[in-house]
Structures are given as C-alpha cells and as structure tokens.
C-alpha cells in the first residue's frame, strides 16, 4: 500500500500538476463564485435560468475537480513531507560528517601552530593522516547510521594496504578492530571485490552481495554467510610518491541489510554517488598518509 502511495503521489508529473498551487488557489474560489452566482442570481439572469442543464454539468465538474485536487494535494503533501524530512536528515548527516573532518584538522593546526619552530619538521608536526583517516572512517559509519539508516552493528569499513613487490597485503585501518575480519591476504588472493577493484582500477558497488558471489567478485566470509544479504562498495586508491607506489583498497560492507534497494537502478546509482563522495574524502587522506609514510621510510615502499 505504502509503495503504491509513493509510486502514485511522489515524483509523478500528473500528480504534481494536480497538486500545484495554481490549481488549488484558483479552482476552489471559482467554484465558490460560480455557486454564489447560481444561487443568488439563478432566477433573475436569463443566461443562468435558461441553461440550467449546462450549469449543472459545469458545477458538477468544478465540484469534482475541487474535491480531487484538494484530496490529491493533501496526500501528496503528506508523502512529500516525509521524504523532505528524510532528505534533510541525509543532508544534515553528510554536512556534519564533512564539518567534523574540517573541525578536527582546524583544531589541530590551531594548536600546533602556536608551538611551531622555524627549524622543526612542520609537515610531521601538523599532519596526522592516520588519526584523520580513523576519524574519516568513524564519520563514514556515523553517516551511514544517521543518514541512510543502517544498523551500526552491520557495518564493516576497512582500508587494505599492499606492497606490490611481495606482494603483501594487510589492513592499514579497520573501523571495528575488535571484529574478526577475513585476512587481507586471503581477500586479495581470492575472488573478492577488493581484488577485482585492485585489478581493474575501478570502484565497484554491489547492491546485493548474492550477485557478487554469483559473479565471483565477492569473497564469502562467515559473517556474510550468516547474514545472507548485504551490500558492498569498494574503491582502489593508488598513490605515487616520487617513484614509489602506495596501494590501498577502501571498502564499505554492510551485512544483514541492503544499503539501497538492490533492484532499483536509479536508487543504486544515487547511493553509489553518495558513497563515492565519501570515498573521495578517504582518498584525500590517503595521499597525505602515503607522503608521510614515504618520508618516514626514507623513500621506500610501505
């Protein structure tokens, strides 16, 4: 029923026209004036008196239109009100996420700037990409919970880092370090989303994990087997500092529920767009993270 109501009353051009302010402002007063004219001067004016059948039809049409317009407008406003509230919630969550990142950096710069020495290593003092990355991952989780309504116990956010000369793979960061994660090496050697993204260089969003398993691009873990459903978003990031390459795979996995409706392409595209926006912030911090590692390791790979 709810689905039917939204299909009919939200994003429907006919309904948008019928519930437009123009119609709801003009049609009811016209009906009132018309009724008044017929009632007051109906027996005096010949153009009313001699064409009663026509006036009955016109009045019925106007009365019917008024009822339909006001009814549709009422339901459409109610549906759109709920959508607007949710839209505002998503926007607020995203802005909070971005603001917190900026605030954290600004506070650190403000504190460190007071004690900087001209001979000191300013870059090392002011940049703390690991802290910032941890903050970005926590912020991403908070955004998914408050903005998209995902249960926080269902979320897994990780950054896998690799050394291609080995190759060696490990978790550079995990949002929930106490949770048991599949070993990074196992993921990168198996048929996983992370491996696909690393090899293709493209980000990948799989709204339904079952599709990923079927296509051989999702590694089934105990957790995913237990929950049976979920979504995953993966983005590879390659940063070249001087001639040294740093490789990362950022992953957002949701188990036990879907990030979006898996069979609605428009919604999947929209969700992917939002997740890509989040991943852009992670990518930015990974650039700094790589430069810092490059400096600390004396120009060697991680």
Partner 1 sequence: MRQILMSKPNEFSYHKERDQIRSVAVKMFAKVISSSKEDSAQGDSNEVKVSSTLEKKQD
Binding segment toward partner 1, per CB under 8 A, in 44-52, 83-91, 119-127, 175-183: 83-91
**Residues near 163 by Cβ (< 8 Å), separated by ≥ 6?**
169, 247, 301, 302
Query: At its nearest, how many Å lie between partner 1 and the CB of residue 100?
Result: 18
Q: Does 276 bind partner 1 (CB under 8 A)?
A: yes
Q: Which of 56, 151, 270, 296 binds partner 1 (CB under 8 A)?
A: 270
Cβ neighbour number for residue 140 with a 10 Å cutoff: 21
In contact, 97 and 23? CB cutoff 8 Å: no
Quick check: 151 binds partner 1 (CB under 8 A)? no
Choose between 31 and 271: whose C-beta lies nearer to partner 1: 271
Q: Does 13 bind partner 1 (CB under 8 A)?
A: no
Q: Is 86 in the site for partner 1 (CB under 8 A)?
A: yes
CB neighbour list of residue 108: distance below 8 Å, 6 or more residues apart:
126, 128
Is residue 294 within the footprint of partner 1 (CB under 8 A)? Answer: no
Contact segment (CB under 8 A) with partner 1 among 15-23, 63-71, 87-95, 158-166 equals 87-95
Contact 231, 288 (CB under 8 A): no
Please, which of residues 27-66 interact with partner 1 by CB under 8 A?
none
Residue from 45, 87, 109, 170 touching partner 1 (CB under 8 A): that is 87
- CB 171 → partner 1: shortest distance, Å? 24
CB of 260 to partner 1, least distance (A): 7
Q: Which residues are CB-contacts of 103 (< 8 A; sequence separation ≥ 6)? A: none
Residue 258: CB minimum distance to partner 1, A: 6
Distance CA(252)–CA(77), nearest Å, equals 35
Q: Check residue 103 for interaction with partner 1 (CB under 8 A).
A: no
> What track of x and - describes contact with partner 1 for positions 111 through 150 (by CB under 8 A)?
-------------------------------------xx-
Beta bridge partners of 248: 161, 237
Instruction: Say if residue 295 is exposed, middle or buried (CB neighbours under 10 Å; 0-12, 13-18, 19+).
Output: middle
Please, which residue, 2 or 114, has the CB nearer to partner 1?
Answer: 2
Q: Which residues contact 273 (CB under 8 A, 6 or more apart)?
A: none
At 6, phi and psi to the nearest 5?
-70, -35
């Amino acid at each position: 029923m709810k689905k039917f109501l939204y299909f009919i009353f939200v994003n429907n051009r006919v309904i948008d026209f019928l519930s437009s302010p123009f119609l709801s402002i003009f049609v009811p007063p016209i009906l009132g004036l018309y009724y008044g004219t017929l009632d007051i001067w109906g027996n005096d004016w010949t153009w009313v008196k001699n064409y009663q059948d026509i006036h009955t039809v016109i009045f019925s049409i106007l009365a019917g239109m008024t009822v339909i317009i006001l009814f549709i407008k009422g339901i459409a406003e109610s549906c759109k009100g709920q959508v607007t509230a949710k839209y505002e919630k998503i926007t607020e969550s995203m802005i909070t996420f971005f603001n917190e990142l900026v605030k954290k950096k600004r506070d650190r710069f403000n504190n460190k700037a007071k004690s900087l020495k001209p001979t000191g290593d300013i870059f090392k003092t002011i940049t703390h990409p690991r802290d910032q990355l941890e903050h970005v991952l926590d912020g991403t989780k908070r955004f998914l919970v408050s903005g998209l309504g995902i249960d926080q116990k269902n979320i897994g956010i990780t950054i896998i880092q690799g050394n291609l000369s080995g190759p060696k793979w490990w978790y550079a960061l995990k949002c929930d370090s106490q949770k048991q994660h599949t070993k990074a090496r196992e993921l990168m050697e198996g048929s996983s989303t992370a491996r696909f993204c690393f090899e293709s260089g493209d980000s990948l969003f799989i709204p339904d994990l079952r599709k990923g398993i079927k296509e051989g691009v999702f590694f089934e873990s105990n957790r995913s087997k237990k929950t049976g459903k979920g979504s995953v978003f993966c983005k590879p990031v390659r940063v070249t500092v001087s001639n040294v390459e740093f490789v990362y795979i950022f992953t957002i996995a949701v188990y036990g529920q879907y990030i979006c409706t898996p069979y609605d392409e428009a919604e999947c595209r929209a969700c992917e767009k939002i997740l890509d926006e989040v991943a852009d912030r992670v990518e930015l911090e990974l650039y700094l993270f790589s430069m810092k590692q490059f400096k600390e390791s004396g120009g060697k790979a991680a």
